[in-house]
Amino acid sequence: MGQVHSCGSTSEHRQAVDQTLAALRARGFLAAVAGAARGIAAMAALVHSEAGQRELFGPTATTDPTASSTQELDQCLQQASFVAVTVNKYVVLLTEQAYTGVWTSLFGSSLVSPQLSPGAVDAWDALADSQLLAAAAVTLVDSPDVFTLPPDRTLPRNVVCNRVQDACRYAGISMYYMQATQGALHSAGGSEGQQLAVGLLRAMRHVAVRRLQVALLDQQAAHAGMGAALQGEDEGEEERDGQGQQAAQADGWTGSSGTWWFAREEARQRRLLGVGPGACNKGRVRDMQAPCMTGDELEDYYCHIVHGTLGTWGGVVASAEVPAGPPPLLVARLAARAAEALVRLCRGEGLGGAYGKAPEWQFAKAEVGSFGANAL
């Protein structure tokens, strides 16, 4: 696709770009990518499990780091993380273009009687029907915990962490575009727009997406130095409030705080995994595994998380068409924690300095900040 874009600006090249984009948005292709992503995630989970390793390699085949079976396992884990990055980046491409199509057709031409273009409707319908968003979420929330590998397996562990962190950022962006599209449809009104909004909500409330939304909020809290689980997420607290995880599951909501290995490991090690070498400039996160991520890039990421999670949970009543969102008490607890995390990060109290000493205050300045503030 990059080669197509680099060909020039003639009509023939523009046609080639349009044909390539149309192929990438085709319903059959989206469904095929979703199926492949789920299959690779399932294979990685299988070969990472003890039972799977015994079945594939024998009882002791993966104890020797030089054994071919160990190398095959490491390659499988790295390939699965590469798929997670690629698929989530692909979803960003799709959601950005689909959002642009909705916004342009509603607000870019006639403000008197805005109408959704057929292309804008079809782009979102195809994405929602393919369940690609859920498949992309699966590649993250069901990814194998590489910190259960022996200590000498540093290469696959570092590679996977780098890619998981990148995939998280892409997931946050795509969720943000979906939330922004919902906001545009709500502002424009109309039966067609509301029907499309229902389809987006169904896609966003798939069980895998729900789990990822909670996991990303957990990661934000971990980066703020608050741990990766809601305070009181234990049996005693659940029994006292009577509206904890059991009530959430009774309402059709699944996804428990503090269960995703990546956010939990960042909280345990008190550092951001996969974002940054030791010699970084002022205002950049410090780590040992990947190029630096600037403070404003982190701020963008956390804005995307808040809007793509809390921003999609309010104002919609569950029905036969729209699955239930999280219970109000859970939303309130997650929102309160997210607000505290943002404050801590802007004060420079996050892991590794996070935003640095000069935050950009991206969340407060965001165009849709009022919507996110309402969620908080």
| Residue-range domain boundaries for the chain | 1-204, 219-231+242-295+308-376
Lowest mean pLDDT among 170-174, 177-181, 250-254: 250-254
* 240 has a pLDDT exceeding 70: no
Instruction: Please report, rounded to a whole number, the percentage of residues in the chain having pLDDT higher than 90.
Output: 28
Q: Residue 252 contacts by C-beta under 8 Å, 6 or more apart in sequence?
A: 318, 323, 324
- Cα 267 from Cα 160, distance rounded (Å): 17
pLDDT tens digit sequence for 110-134? 555 567 778 888 888 889 889 999 9
Q: Residue 280: which pLDDT band, with cuts at 50, 70 and 90? A: very low
- pLDDT at site 211: 92
pLDDT tens digit sequence for 73-116? 888 889 999 999 999 999 999 999 888 888 887 776 555 556 77
Q: What is the mean pLDDT of the chain?
A: 77
**Residue 198 to residues 130, 168, 221: CA-CA distances in angstroms?**
15, 25, 30
To 10 degrees, what angle do helices 154-188 and 191-204 make?
160
Residue 50, number of CB atoms within 10 A of its CB: 10
Using alpha carbons only, give the angle 333, 335, 339 rounded to the nearest 5 degrees: 120
Average pLDDT over residues 225-249: 57
* 236 has a pLDDT exceeding 50: no
- pLDDT at site 35: 96
Q: Which residue has tokens 């607890």?
A: 333
- pLDDT at site 6: 46
Average pLDDT over residues 201-217: 91
Q: Residue 185: which pLDDT band, with cuts at 50, 70 and 90? A: confident
Q: Which residue has tokens 């996160």?
A: 285
- Cα 162 from Cα 169, distance rounded (Å): 11
- pLDDT at site 198: 83
* 200 has a pLDDT exceeding 70: yes
Run of H or E including 29: helix 27-48
Average pLDDT over residues 331-342: 91
**Is 289:276 a contact under the CB 8 Å cutoff?**
yes
* 372 has a pLDDT exceeding 50: no
- pLDDT at site 222: 93
3-state class (DSSP) for residue 284:
strand
- pLDDT at site 296: 65
pLDDT tens digit sequence for 50-61? 787 777 777 665
Q: Residue 157: which pLDDT band, with cuts at 50, 70 and 90? A: confident
Structure tokens at 305: 């998380």
Average pLDDT over residues 269-297: 54
Q: Residue 373: which pLDDT band, with cuts at 50, 70 and 90? A: very low
- pLDDT at site 134: 95
